[in-house]
Structure 1
Amino acid sequence: MDLRLLDRLREAGYSVGYCATLLRNHVLIMGTARRAVNAGHAPICVFRGCLMEYPDGNAPMPETTNAKPADAMGDGDSAAAGPGRRDPTVHAARHAIEILRCISQSQPEIGVSDIARRIGLHKSSVSRLVATLEAQRVVERNPHTDRVSLAPGLIAIAAPLINHMGISQASRQRMAQLAEESAETVNLSIWDGREAISIDQTVGPNAITHYAAPGQNNPAHCTASGKVLLAFASEADLSAVLRAPLTRYTERTITDPAVLRRELGRVRETGLALNRAEFSEDAGAVAAIVRNVNGQATIALTITVPLYRFGKARERKLLELVGNAARDISGQIGAMTAAGIARRQP
């Protein structure tokens, strides 16, 4: 058994235990086409170092299958690189991107079988890649249809680009105004299914300010942006956060799920959230929900303040400022969306 094939299997997403079982049972044969059934697993076919898995038990010879072998999930060594040349690309990464592109062109959602047919990969390979993308929160599955769509976690990866696009374009002028009015740092965040992700920031004029780079993750249970987004998230997201351990960052961090659920209920009523030294001992924040053109609560606008400048009177004033700005940005996003639709119409 060539250990390079074992590495390829592991890169393809097979567990170490599964690979070890295959080795013990001599399922993997190099240099020849052969089917073998390992108890509890799909038939495996290996041909010239190329792995294919066929859950239905009908494995064709590698020369005749139209689906790309799951070797395409390996590290590259493809004929596409030309005779005598090694393809420097990683097939698994390339196919993951193909899947994301396929999903993006099939909004609102698409099934795994349709993805496999469109990109020419076997369904089992696509299923494993989709599961990986789902675990990384860049793809989400509709529990009612079992079809998949792009998830907000993808925005976190592209956060630096978003600074110059879409949401940020609609909000940047108003964020700058809010930073001037409050003299504090203003952030815009989106929800990725578990946390708030910072996508844009405007720093206020005060000498001592808070900085959060685009792409930074903020816990849902103890930050103003996280709480306001969690309050309007799906019940599935809320339940997942409440089931997980609520990490204590300071003495004021809420770690009781029942207490957090009650606070989120109040946040839903007002559209405003507060963090007073719950995540950092020396900082507080206020946040308001921003709605898109469909009225969906998808974005958080936050003002972050050093705790020594965060008295009760200051808190009330900042809540008023952030609420007004969030309503203005919601209107700007709606106006930009409507203008974009009008431009695309013949």
Structure 2
Amino acid sequence: MLTTGLDILRIVAEAESPLTATAIARRVGLHVSSVSRTLAVLVRHGYLRKPTYHSFAADLGVLALAGQAVTQLPAVARTRGAIEALAAGTGMQATLAALHHDEVLYLHRSQRSETITGVAGGFPLHLSVVGLRLLLDLPPADATAALERAERRYGWERPTPATPAGPAECLARARERLTDGVLRIDAWDAPGVLGAAVRVDVAGNAPLALALVGPAPAGADAFARTHLDRGAAAVRTALEEQM
């Protein structure tokens, strides 16, 4: 029952428009009568709503649950100071993120004394240096599938002619730009912009990626390596305090 409810909640929350019980049952592989009982529970507790008699969509309960949970997650609660320090020390945008299926989860994004916490999705995966850094550690088929799903959801924007034209090219070029664990896409060759990310691993936590994005300084390679290594060490220290 719990697994079914979570599957249904995810499917409805990720759908671009309301779904019928029949469509939901087809996606979870269960009889519509079983799905209908779970849908009724989710509606009763405010996680789903019925915009029409036959359809279901996410309701405010999902937002309330996410908002309450995000500040309790150690990966969020313990790392804000490290990300703000990295942003202040470099004058760039510092970002800490995770990857969930084909969505980038921005734990913190800090720049110019402003920090945004807990942003899920809404950004094209192929343009996200943190998302791409984590994709490169997945099996190639899984990474390609994630980019293809993201393309169907957000399209494939090409802000410059140098931006890869599709998932296969994107992964191939990202692999070419991964050196000693640091991925640099530099906004896919936008003049004068540094975009670099490293992976951060801490036992008991999901893989994270840490990035710096901003005007490229002199000696950008050394700058990115030095500051990302320091930032990653600070994030690891913050998270290991929970253990």
Q: Is TM-score (shorter-chain normalized) higher than 0.5?
A: yes
Following TM superposition, by how much is the alpha carbon of 1:236 offset from its aligned partner in structure 2, in angstroms?
4.6
Structure 2: give runs of 5+ residues left out of the alignment: 1-17, 48-55
Task: Give, in whole Å, the separation in 1 of the partners of 2:115 and 2:190.
Answer: 11
Contact in 2 for aligned 1:11/1:73 (Cα 8 Å) = no
Distance 1:247 1:159, change over 3 A: farther
Helix, strand or coil for the counterpart of 2:226?
Answer: helix
Matched, 1:247 2:153: no
2:226 is aligned to 320
Task: Give, in whole Å, the separation in 1 of the partners of 2:138 and 2:146.
Answer: 10
Identity %: 14
Following TM superposition, by how much is the alpha carbon of 1:196 offset from its aligned partner in structure 2, in angstroms?
1.5
**Normalised TM-score (structure 2):** 0.63
Following TM superposition, by how much is the alpha carbon of 1:329 offset from its aligned partner in structure 2, in angstroms?
1.4
Higher helix share: 2
Task: Give, in whole Å, the separation in 1 of the partners of 2:71 and 2:217.
Answer: 32
Distance 1:281 1:226, change over 3 A: farther
Task: Give, in whole Å, the separation in 2 of the partners of 1:70 and 1:243.
Answer: 28
Amino acid at match of 2:137: F
Structure 1: give runs of 5+ residues left out of the alignment: 1-9, 19-41, 45-50, 53-68, 75-89, 98-128, 134-153, 339-346
Distance 1:11 1:276, change over 3 A: closer
Contact in 1 for aligned 2:156/2:166 (Cα 8 Å) = no
Q: For 1:329, which of 228, 235, 238 is the aligned residue?
A: 235
Spell out, residue by residue over 1:238-274, the C-alpha distance to the aligned partner (whole angstroms, 9 max, x if none): 1303556571321221124444333343566522222
- The number of residues matched between the two structures is 205
Following TM superposition, by how much is the alpha carbon of 1:321 offset from its aligned partner in structure 2, in angstroms?
0.3
Task: Give, in whole Å, the separation in 2 of the partners of 1:231 and 1:159.
Answer: 30
1:200 is aligned to 108
Q: CA RMSD in A?
A: 4.3
Q: For 2:211, which of 302, 305, 311 is the aligned residue?
A: 302
Task: Give, in whole Å, the separation in 2 of the partners of 1:219 and 1:180.
Answer: 26
Helix, strand or coil for the counterpart of 1:214?
Answer: strand
**Normalised TM-score (structure 1):** 0.47
Amino acid at match of 1:303: L
Higher Cα Rg, which structure: 1
Higher strand share: 2
